[in-house]
Structure 1
Amino acid sequence: MCWDISLHTDIELAKAIFKTVRDERYDFDYNYVYFENVQAITFPKYPIIYKDKEGSGLGLIEMEWGGLPTYLKDPKEQADRRRNMVNVRSERILEDHKSYWYRLRNQRCLIPVSGTFEHRKVNGWKKKVPYYIGEAGRELFFIPGLYQWHEMVDEHGEIHKVESFGMLTRSANDVMATIHNDGPNKHRMPLFLPEDLEKQWLNDISEEEMLPIFNFEMPSGALEAYPVYTLRGYPERPDGKRRYEPFGWEGLPPLGQDSPQQSLF
């Protein structure tokens, strides 16, 4: 699954790119150390740009990561199911008109990121190697998603508005297939897009016009990917650098060659 992203770029850049966007954020503490590695499966609050379904334009707002399965009432069952809804398989959105995501197909958003993370398995290594992946030459880019609004009643009878979203994914291109090479959802990647398709995702488009977006495969050469030190844990890097900066793993074989390198001497 595509669960880890990085936002170490100033979010104000998103407002410079989408000049008409309304800033609807609350007083939110943007701790950029925390945002260096955001884990979607913890359902964090995260800034997105959404297309108002009422047609009043674009808004920049914080929503919880992870679609909310409102058809489930048991909190534990809902949380368990929600972990599988942080990602949205783009290929399936239009397949089943009775599906959850099909109903949200016109509630579209963009997720601003500096880059994403994924783990690679190397045969014989105890732990997987984390990689950082970004779009080459872009300080900030946007991954398409779907969002929802929902009202919930707590145990005191008070109504709370829940705003949540999921990130679109697709089958991996060549370079991502060699990184995300293990696990039950291997060979998947976020739906990386060029700038024109990012903006088209927020336009008023038909289902037929969505298909070229879902089918777009980012060329491997348009991505930059390199190993980093660690994810989902906070040990100090021995070199003192930031979480998203490159780290040199001794003996790490090239991508596509998953057996450790052996000395000839």
Structure 2
Amino acid sequence: MCYDISLHSNIELTKQAFPQLRDRRTQFTDANPGIEHVTSFGFPEYPVLANIDGELVLTEMEWSVNPIYEKDEKQRLIRRRKMANATTEKVLEDKRSFWQRIKNNRCLIPMSGNYEHREIEGWKNRVPYYIWMADRETYHLPGFYHVEDATDADGLPIKKYSFALLTRPANEVLKLIHNSGEFKHRMPLYLTPEIEEFWLSNQFTNDDMRAVFEYMMPGENFNFQTVYSVRGRTPRPDGKHKYDLWTYDNLPPLGEDKPQEPQATLF
């Protein structure tokens, strides 16, 4: 699944792609444009495109849909950590899922790239990768958003928004990177610019949703490289960006996960 993303490219590229967009952001403004790494586990606010109150807006939403149907607060927190992503198969096949309730609340999540980990047999630590689309500085992943009634610090009623991005089975390249774990061999649902725009169209139907979910972005459309760390707190020794290349000794090529030499230590 996808729990780590980046938006370090200029948000103006999103505004150019969607000229009718109204910017309602309060935190991620042009004065604070770069987000090298965001992870879903703390439910951070993130800029999202959606049709709200009859207009297309760019606004902050919390990443990971809040499962309000779960009444036990502890269990709700546990469940919410797994609701950063919505699997396309479950949306289509499980009519009892929560995604069925909000599937008409379509949104787009602007991104520069995302991070995944690759497991190498015999290595203690998985190898982190940064992945991005080769021909687009900014692209937009489809997702669903949820609205709930809440109150602010003064006790006044407000609407709270949260979102999940959509994932599907990975293509022939990205499955070699995301090769382990409960949700191995999956990737975000990448779309072309034309399909991204259609995703937010008022003419979009349930039949269109099935067709979009079946779209597979070819592996040749992606660039990727190993990076120093994703969630680690130790600063990079070279002081470069989190998404910049970091080379690993003895790293086997993709598809060959049995190295001849042990993993060199990072720390």
Using the size of structure 1 for normalisation, the TM-score is 0.92
Determine the structure 2 residue equivalent to 1:15: 15
User: Following TM superposition, by how much is the alpha carbon of 1:210 offset from its aligned partner in structure 2, in angstroms?
Assistant: 1.1
Q: Which residue of 1 aligns with 2:42?
A: 42
For residues 153 and 23 of structure 1, the distance between their equivalents in structure 2, rounded to whole angstroms, comes to: 23
- For the residue of structure 2 that corresponds to 1:61, the secondary structure is strand
Deviations 1:223-250 (A, max 9, x none): 1111111011232212221110111111
Q: Which moved more, 1:226-235 or 1:120-129?
A: 226-235
Q: What do the CA deviations read for 1:136-188 (whole angstroms, capped 9, x no partner)?
A: 12100010000011013589965442110000000111111110111111111
Distance 1:110 1:156, change over 3 A: closer
1:26-175 to structure 2, matched below 5 A, reads 26-28=26-28, 31=32, 35-52=35-52, 54=53, 56-152=54-150, 159-175=157-173
Which amino acid counterpart does residue 247 of structure 1 have in structure 2? W
Aligned partners of 2:113, 2:27: CA distance in 1, in Å?
25
> Tell me, what secondary structure is at the counterpart of 1:93?
helix
AA of the residue aligned to 2:47? P
Alignment of 1:189 with 2:192, yes or no, is no
Q: Secondary structure at the match of 2:196?
A: helix
Q: SS state of the match for residue 175, structure 2? A: helix
The answer for the alignment partner of 1:6 in structure 2 is: 6
Return 5+ residue gaps in structure 2 as ranges: 263-267
Deviations 1:162-219 (A, max 9, x none): 1100000001111111101111111111111111111111112111111121011110
SS in 2 for 1:37: strand
Contact (CA 8 Å) 2:28, 2:47: kept in 1 or not? no
For 1:192, give the aligned amino acid. Answer: Y
Contact 1:94 1:207 in 2 (8 A): no
1:73 offset after TM fit, Å? Answer: 2.3
In the alignment, does 2:228 pair up with 1:229? yes
State how far apart, in whole Å, the 1-side matches of 2:25 and 2:152 are.
Answer: 24
The 8 Å contact of residues 116 and 177 in structure 2, kept in 1 or not, is answered as yes
Tell me, which stretches of 5 or more residues in structure 1 are unaligned?
A: none
Give yes or no for contact 2:112–2:132 (8 Å, CA) kept in 1: yes
> For the residues of structure 2 that align with 1:18 and 1:155, how far apart are their CA atoms?
33
Relative to structure 1, the CA distance from residue 77 to residue 116 in structure 2 (aligned partners, 3 Å threshold; closer, same or farther) is same
CA distance 1:262–1:28, shift in 2 (3 Å): closer
Q: 1:138–1:156: structure 2 CA closer, same or farther, 3 Å change rule?
A: closer
Distance 1:154 1:45, change over 3 A: closer
Q: Which residue of 2 aligns with 1:176?
A: 174
Tell me the distance in 1 between the aligned counterparts of 2:26 and 2:154: 24
Q: Structure 1, residues 1-36: CA drift from partner, whole Å, max 9, x if none?
A: 210001111212211111000111124466566x21
C-alpha displacement at 1:40, in angstroms? 1.1
Counterpart amino acid of 2:65?
A: G
- d(CA) in 2 for partners of 1:143, 1:37: 16
Counterparts of 1:203 and 1:94, CA distance in 2: 19
Question: Aligned-pair RMSD on alpha carbons?
Answer: 2.0
SS of aligned partner of 1:85: coil
| Percent of aligned pairs sharing the same letter | 45
Tell me how far 1:97 sits from its aligned partner: 3.0
Deviating more after overlay: 98-107 vs 134-143: 98-107
Contact 1:252–1:261 (CA under 8 A) maintained in structure 2: no
